[in-house]
């Protein structure tokens, strides 16, 4: 009861603070999507025209959320319009109210913190979208830097001296893009990537598979999933604790909880490497092994906790060559077509699985993982 009261107080404080702000005549492009926050490290900006009073990408904060979806930019819909992100597509296709609680840059720790705040929406079902691309690395950083006592409960002080994952390949690629754009303002973004790809720039790996053409960032994806790195191994341990906390919340508050594993575009290509034309095959093969290991660890964690787990990898691998990601781009977020496919997967497989798991729990006091 005390937890419910504290959650309601926290929600009121957030709403009170956010509703009192004004955009001061700023145009939408001048308003950042995210703002710094000492608890979450970053939050969605409630002043952004696509966001509600809590900074989430919804028209308004509902009195009650039938289905709550937590996640990062893969859930938020980083490269599509608000009405094209898959939680909103799911709402249109299922006819059920869906609340999009995805924020760019979040990881598993932020999902636990956000769910604590959103419990007063009394969700009946909650889906947590775990993105293997960076959620584990983000978990380590949030547990280390957040001021939240809950975040600190996932942290081991012995990890304080551990170095962060090496993101030099990602930074180098971004600098190369910016440098060439400054040197050759006549080049389009597509031409810039094509030039860098031909030069052999790291993490600008040209890929052609079926009708799709894009540029892969396999070094970056490998760095944030490599369990031989101590910070990534710690991030996985933190995520296991987070999953246990989420499970406890679902039991205490009576909502059905499911974990959906969202793979990287690079991993999907790696699973079909014999059909793809790529420059750096060896690194993609290494990433394939690394991400498969991470996915296996997360499925195992869910099984240990009797949490229903839904892995998108087997489903999306069939469509990776069908233009479900932005073309001639390094962006690894699904486009409108990709979001439509994910919404269909959730409608047809995840929601029935959650309902079945809830009935099973009521009948036998537990659930079995559903892959």
The pLDDT value recorded for residue 222 is 97
On average, the pLDDT of the chain sits at 90
Residue 313 belongs to a domain with what CATH number?
3.40.50.1110
Mean pLDDT of 133-145: 97
pLDDT of the residue at 23:
34
In a domain, 26, yes or no: no
pLDDT category, 361, cuts 50, 70, 90? low
Supply the pLDDT for residue 355. Answer: 82
Contact by Cβ (8 Å): 71, 106: yes
Average pLDDT over residues 167-196: 96
**Which of 134-143, 151-160, 350-359 has the least mean pLDDT?**
350-359
CA–CA separation, 179 and 203 (whole Å): 15
**pLDDT at residue 138 above 70?**
yes
Give tens-digit pLDDT for 299-347.
999 999 999 999 999 999 999 999 999 999 999 999 999 999 999 999 9
Q: pLDDT exceeding 70 applies to what percent of the chain?
A: 88
33's tokens: 């999507």
Question: Residue 174: inside a domain, yes or no?
Answer: no
Residue 146 in domain: yes
Q: Is residue 62 part of a domain?
A: yes
pLDDT digits (tens, 9 = 90+) for 272-299: 999 999 999 999 999 999 999 999 999 9
Q: Which pLDDT belongs to residue 356?
A: 76
Question: Residue 360: pLDDT band by 50, 70, 90 thresholds?
Answer: low
Decide if 176 is inside a domain.
Answer: no
Residue 333 has a pLDDT of: 97
**What is the average per-residue pLDDT within 187-205?**
96
Instruction: Give the total number of structural domains in the chain.
Output: 1
User: What pLDDT sits at residue 211?
Assistant: 97
Give me the pLDDT at residue 194, please.
Answer: 97
**Residue 230: Cβ-neighbour burial (10 angstroms; 0-12, 13-18, 19+):** middle
- Position 65 in a domain: yes
Residue 98: inside a domain, yes or no? Answer: yes
Give a three-class secondary structure readout of the chain: CHHHHHHHHHHHHHHHHHHCCCCCCCCHHHCCCEEEECCCEEEECCCCCCCCCCCCCCCCCCCCCCEEEEECHHHHCCCCCHHHCHHHHHHHHHCCCEEEEECCCCCHHHHHHHHHHHHHHCCCEEEEEEECCCHHHHHHHHHHHCCCHHHHHCCCHHHCCCCCCCCHHHHHHHHHHHHHHHHCCCCCHHHHHHHHHHHCCCCCEEEEECCEEEEECHHHHHHCCCCCCHHHHHHHHHHHHHHHHHHHHHHHHCCEEEEEEECCHHHHHHCCHHHCEECCHHHHHHHHHHHHHHHHHHHHHHHHCCCCEEECHHHHCCCCCCCCCCCCCCCCCCCHHHHHHHHHHHHHHHHHHHHHHHHHHHHHCCCCCCC
List the single range of 9-13, 40-44, 246-250 with lowest mean pLDDT: 9-13
Q: Which domain holds residue 120?
A: 2-20+31-164+218-364
Q: Is residue 207 part of a domain?
A: no
């Amino acid at each position: 009861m005390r937890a419910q009261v504290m959650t309601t107080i926290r929600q009121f404080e957030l709403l009170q603070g956010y509703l009192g702000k004004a955009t001061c005549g700023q145009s939408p492009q001048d308003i950042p999507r995210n703002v710094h926050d000492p608890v979450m490290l970053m939050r969605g900006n409630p002043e952004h025209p696509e966001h509600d009073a809590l900074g989430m990408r919804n028209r308004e904060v509902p009195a009650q959320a039938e289905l709550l979806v937590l996640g990062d930019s893969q859930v938020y819909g980083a490269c599509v319009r608000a009405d094209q992100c898959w939680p909103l597509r799911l709402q249109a296709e299922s006819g059920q109210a869906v609340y999009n609680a995805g924020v760019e840059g979040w990881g598993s720790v932020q999902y636990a913190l956000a769910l604590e705040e959103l419990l007063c929406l009394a969700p009946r079902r909650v889906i947590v979208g775990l993105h293997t691309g960076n959620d584990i690395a983000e978990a380590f950083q949030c547990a280390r830097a957040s001021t939240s006592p809950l975040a600190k409960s996932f942290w081991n002080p012995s990890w304080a001296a551990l170095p962060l994952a090496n993101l030099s390949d990602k930074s180098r690629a971004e600098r190369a893009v910016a440098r060439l754009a400054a040197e050759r303002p006549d080049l389009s973004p597509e031409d810039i990537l094509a030039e860098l790809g031909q030069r052999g720039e790291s993490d600008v790996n040209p890929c052609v598979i079926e009708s799709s053409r894009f540029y892969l960032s396999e070094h970056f994806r490998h760095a944030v999933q490599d369990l031989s790195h101590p910070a990534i191994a710690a991030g996985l341990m933190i995520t296991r604790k987070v999953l246990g906390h989420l499970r406890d919340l679902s039991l205490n508050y009576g909502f059905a909880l499911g974990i959906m594993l969202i793979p990287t575009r690079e991993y999907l290509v790696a699973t079909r490497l014999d059909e793809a034309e790529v420059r750096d095959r060896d690194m993609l093969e290494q990433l394939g092994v690394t991400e498969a290991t991470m996915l296996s660890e997360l499925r195992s964690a869910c099984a240990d906790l009797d949490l229903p787990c839904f892995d998108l990898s087997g489903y999306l691998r069939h469509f990776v060559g069908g233009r479900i990601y932005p073309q001639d781009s390094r962006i690894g977020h699904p486009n409108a077509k990709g979001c439509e496919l994910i919404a269909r997967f959730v409608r047809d497989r995840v929601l029935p699985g959650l309902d079945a798991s809830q009935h099973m729990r009521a009948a036998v006091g537990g659930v079995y993982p559903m892959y």
